[in-house]
Amino acid sequence: VLEEVETKDTVADVALNEGFDSAASLDRLVRSIGRSMEALHQQRIVHGAISADSFHMRADGTCELAHGGLGTIRHLEARSDGPEALNAGLRAGARAPELAAGDKPTAASDRYALGAAMYQAVTGVEPSPADLEPGAVSELLRSLGAAVPTSVRGSLPRLLSPEPSKRAAGLTVLHRF
């Protein structure tokens, strides 16, 4: 069931135009993003097209995930057209490495895209694939220091792991702090 969400901004809009005013507001946001994703996956739904534009901001600083499961539908419709058709419309920086190889979207690829959305919330910039390489992420977190909440510092490198099996730990770490 799709429902219209009344909102004026997405996470991408806020990150680009005004940023988040404190580490606490960023922490509240990323925890909300993580809960939205987990709720979807608990229903065995794979989104398949997560980006910072997928999360609509609420007045209390939390967010709501939009367009649930459309990526899986896109995969089923495009499976005979190859990876180019499957990845049409997905942002390059949010595309998990296995999707670029033509694999079907999974909860693990959603977690990678969640990491990319968190990156954009932290930096205000839509990431390129090079921005999400492990060394680049470590350097970014080191350079931003205390401006980045512990929840993000601990979860972001795990969510953006090139190894799909290691990404689930990113959500565990997000909720631990």
User: Which has more confidence, 29 or 71?
Assistant: 29
Please state, in angstroms and as integers, the Cα–Cα distance from residue 137 to each residue in 69, 116, 176, following that order.
Answer: 28, 10, 20
- Identify the CA nearest to 87 among candidates 71, 76, 73: 71
- pLDDT-derived band at 73 (thresholds 50, 70, 90) equals very low
Please state, in angstroms and as integers, the Cα–Cα distance from residue 111 to each residue in 3, 51, 94, 118, following that order.
Answer: 23, 11, 10, 10
Using a 10 angstrom Cβ sphere, with 0-12 exposed, 13-18 middle and 19 or more buried, the burial of residue 45 is: middle
Residue 135: alpha-carbon gap to chain centroid: 19
pLDDT in tens, 101-111: 888 888 999 89
pLDDT in tens, 118-158: 888 888 888 888 999 999 999 999 998 888 888 888 889 99
Rounded to an integer, what distance in angstroms lies between the CA atom of residue 106 and that of residue 52?
18
- pLDDT-derived band at 72 (thresholds 50, 70, 90) equals very low
pLDDT score for 169 = 73
Residue-averaged pLDDT of the chain: 77
